[in-house]
């Protein structure tokens, strides 16, 4: 760790009670094998993987049971060997209380691995490496579960200045990264070395909040070793001031490099990319050991007799895991994540998934219900602590009044829902709830509008198709009556002539569109061509845009005729 590293400040932030000691007293324990594993197929941002197994099939540990759906998706694996007893809808670990498709596995107790093989990423193309990581199911383990292969992309410059590893772990109660860094620093740093090579990054900065001296010490040693081996000083462990949300990717990038990546832009365009330390560990395991992502470290803390970190197989029910820590009798809720941003769970039967960094057991005593909401007194405390430099009370005002356009003008979508504003508000206004509400309303409206647009385009396209079919019928009839095959061939040849009639234009457009589509599909199989792939939403938007462009393209000649 270098004392010379210059740090930057981010605006705002708060210092809540950290409550991290209880779960760091004991080392990581391996959670016992549960009687059954319920593995949701959809565990990352992006497309939902297709099930690759059916009830009754035998699976091995690490066997792929869900295949990535396109490039913006990530595979799912069996966490142990056993028998698939069902592929069915089960309750998901999400506040909405919705169910989704899960593979239910009954472990056979042998815990038998598939054949594992290290991946020679040095001799592979970047695209192959990304495919490998996608199929190994590696996603961001800081909680956002963004497919990592999409981020292992140096962007339009082909190389990066800085690879940032996020070990800040700023949320209270959560210590899974802390203990991982203490106990498995070397593997994390090895992961960083691999990522650095893939990204051609100049240097690696590992940011850790200064309330984790043990983790910093362990990572320092590992980084020094790696630097020694490589003969340079590219990897540096940086202790950053403890202040929530220093572990937000954008905040950490800002603290370490001074760069502010604006909302909706790619950090790679600014020469930076940020990964969680847990993700670095998963990448190491996948590439160096050939092990897909089937487990993670989970902190169990809060209203329990013995808080601790466990290495947990995905699909283990939260109930089984919590039982190891003896929740106290007055426990009344389970939160996945920390107290600032965590999600309330719909019950204890839900499984541990890739996004589960912490299971926080709550009680009325630990998290008392807030006193009644008072009117906003415009004290500005919320603005003082907002790490996105927003004016939360203005957004609140307009969200509450349902003047969503105005809320957006005040940059509602720059809000990272960190909860700092609600945390300090003396009027106890659940500000973040209002933002979530406003965002979902705006999304819903946009989807509606989109649907209306698509419907209109569909209608236009149908008109076009009917017209075309009529003409084709006429052409066929003409071909039959006039003469045999040669004439038809001549007609076909005619169709390719430059002086095309509108309907032939349409045909050509169709062909072009089909080729476009084929090309797009090819791109999905060969991710090298998607070098500039943006975050997931943008990718989805692009796909939708492409589809709509196709339809528009097809409809164009027809429309022109109408004019």
Binding site for another protein (CB under 8 A): 10-11, 14, 16-17, 95-97, 157, 250, 254, 259-263, 265, 269-271, 335, 337, 339-344, 346, 362, 366-368, 370-372, 374-381, 383-384, 387-391, 393, 410-411, 414, 419, 422-428, 430, 432-433, 436
Residue placing its CB nearer to ligand SF4 in the complex, 367 or 461: 367
Q: Nearest distance from residue 435's CB to ligand SF4, in Å?
A: 6
The length of the chain, given as a count of residues: 563
Q: 61: which DSSP letter? A: B
Binding-site partner at residue 396 among another protein, ligand SF4, none, CB < 5 to 8 Å by type: ligand SF4
H helices of 293-376, in order, are: 318-323
Binding-site partner at residue 392 among another protein, ligand SF4, none, CB < 5 to 8 Å by type: ligand SF4
Residue placing its CB nearer to ligand SF4 in the complex, 148 or 399: 399
Binding-site partner at residue 269 among ligand SF4, another protein, none, CB < 5 to 8 Å by type: another protein
Residue 377 touches ligand SF4, criterion: CB under 6 A: yes
Spatial separation of the C-alpha atoms in residues 108 and 373, rounded to whole Å: 53
- Both tokens of residue 410? 């005040």
Binding-site partner at residue 104 among another protein, ligand SF4, none, CB < 5 to 8 Å by type: none
Binding-site partner at residue 294 among another protein, ligand SF4, none, CB < 5 to 8 Å by type: none
Among 419, 527, 551, 558, binds ligand SF4 (CB under 6 A): 419
CB atoms inside a 10 Å sphere around CB 97: 12
Residue placing its CB nearer to another protein in the complex, 114 or 344: 344
Spatial separation of the C-alpha atoms in residues 44 and 41, rounded to whole Å: 9
Report the site for ligand SF4 in 423-482 (rule: CB under 6 A): 424-427, 429, 431-432
Residue 28 touches ligand SF4, criterion: CB under 6 A: no
| Contact code string over 81-120 relative to ligand SF4, x by CB under 6 A | ----------------------------------------
Q: Which of 400, 414, 150, 120 is nearest to 261 (CA)?
A: 414
Residue 206 touches ligand SF4, criterion: CB under 6 A: no
Q: Nearest distance from residue 382's CB to ligand SF4, in Å?
A: 3
Q: Which residues of 532-555 are buried (b: 16+ CB within 10 A; e: fewer)?
A: ebbbbeebbeeeeeeeeebbbebb
Q: Nearest distance from residue 457's CB to another protein, in Å?
A: 34
- Mind giving me the DSSP string for 111-157? -PBPP-----TTTS-HHHHHHHHHHTT-B-TTTT--BHHHH---GGG
Residue 260 touches ligand SF4, criterion: CB under 6 A: no
Q: Which residues of 110-131 are buried (b: 16+ CB within 10 A; e: fewer)?
A: eeeebeeeebebeeeebbbbbb
Number of residues that bind ligand SF4 (CB under 6 A): 29
Residue placing its CB nearer to another protein in the complex, 218 or 304: 304
Q: Is the peptide bond before 245 cis (omega within 30 degrees of 0)?
A: yes
The SS3 assignment for 85 reads strand
Contacts of residue 55, Cβ cutoff 8 Å, sequence gap at least 6: 84, 85, 86, 87
Cα 116 → chain centroid: 26
Residue placing its CB nearer to ligand SF4 in the complex, 169 or 220: 169
Residue 261 touches ligand SF4, criterion: CB under 6 A: no
Strand partners, 236: 205
Q: Which residues of 307-336 are buried (b: 16+ CB within 10 A; e: fewer)?
A: bbbbebbbbbbbbbbbebbebeeebebbbb
The residue ranges that bind ligand SF4 (CB under 6 A) are 376-382, 385-388, 390, 392-393, 396, 415-421, 424-427, 429, 431-432
């Amino acid at each position: 760790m270098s004392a010379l590293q210059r740090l930057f400040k981010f605006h705002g932030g708060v210092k809540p009670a950290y409550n991290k000691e209880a779960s760091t007293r004991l080392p990581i324990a391996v959670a016992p094998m549960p009687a059954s594993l319920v593995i949701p197929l959809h565990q990352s941002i992006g497309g939902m993987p297709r099930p690759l197994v059916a009830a009754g099939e035998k699976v091995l540990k690490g066997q792929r049971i869900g295949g990535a759906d396109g490039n913006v998706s990530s595979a799912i694996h069996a966490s142990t060997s056993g028998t698939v007893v069902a592929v069915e809808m089960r309750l998901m670990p999400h506040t909405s209380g919705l169910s989704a498709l899960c593979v239910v596995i009954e472990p056979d107790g042998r815990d038998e691995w598939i054949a594992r093989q290290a991946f020679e990423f040095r001799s592979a193309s970047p695209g192959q490496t990304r495919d490998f990581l996608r199929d190994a199911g590696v996603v961001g383990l800081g909680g956002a579960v963004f497919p990592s292969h999409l981020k292992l992309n140096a962007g339009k410059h082909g190389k990066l200045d800085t690879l940032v590893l996020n070990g800040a772990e700023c949320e209270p109660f959560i210590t899974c990264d802390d203990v991982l860094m203490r106990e498995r620093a070397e593997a994390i740093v090895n992961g960083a070395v691999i990522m650095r090579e893939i990204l051609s990054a100049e240097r690696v900065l590992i940011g850790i909040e200064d309330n984790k001296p043990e983790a910093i010490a362990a990572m320092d040693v590992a980084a020094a070793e790696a630097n020694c081996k490589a003969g340079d000083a590219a990897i540096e462990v940086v202790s950053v001031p403890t202040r929530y949300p220093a572990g937000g990717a954008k905040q950490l990038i800002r603290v370490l490099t001074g760069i502010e990546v604006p909302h909706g832009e790619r950090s790679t365009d600014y020469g930076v990319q940020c990964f969680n330390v847990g993700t670095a560990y998963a990448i190491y395991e996948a590439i160096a050991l050939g092990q897909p992502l089937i487990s993670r470290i989970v902190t169990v803390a809060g209203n329990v007799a013995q808080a601790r970190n466990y290495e947990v197989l995905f699909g283990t029910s939260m109930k089984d895991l919590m039982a190891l820590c003896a929740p106290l009798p007055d426990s009344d809720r389970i939160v996945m994540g920390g107290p600032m941003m965590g999600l309330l769970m719909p019950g204890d039967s839900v499984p541990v998934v890739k996004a589960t960094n912490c299971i926080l057991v709550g009680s009325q005593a630990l998290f008392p219900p807030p006193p009644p909401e008072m009117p906003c007194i415009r004290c500005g405390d919320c603005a003082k602590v907002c790490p996105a430099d927003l004016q939360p009370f203005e957004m609140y005002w307009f969200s509450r009044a349902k003047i969503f356009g105005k809320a957006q003008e005040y940059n509602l979508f720059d809000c990272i829902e960190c909860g700092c504003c609600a945390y300090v508000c003396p009027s106890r206004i659940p500000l973040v709830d209002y933002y979530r509400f406003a965002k979902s309303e705006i999304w819903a409206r946009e989807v509606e509008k989109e649907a209306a647009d698509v419907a209109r385009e569909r209608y236009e396209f149908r008109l076009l198709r009917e017209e075309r079919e009529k003409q084709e019928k006429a052409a066929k009839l003409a071909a039959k009556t006039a003469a045999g095959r040669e004439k038809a061939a001549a007609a076909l040849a005619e169709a390719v002539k430059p002086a095309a009639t509108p309907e032939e234009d349409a045909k050509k457009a169709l062909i072009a569109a089909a080729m476009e589509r084929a090309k797009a599909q090819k791109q999905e199989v060969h991710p090298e061509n998607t070098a500039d792939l943006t975050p997931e939403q943008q990718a989805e938007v692009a796909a939708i845009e492409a589809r709509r462009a196709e339809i528009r393209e097809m409809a164009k000649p027809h429309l022109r005729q109408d004019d």
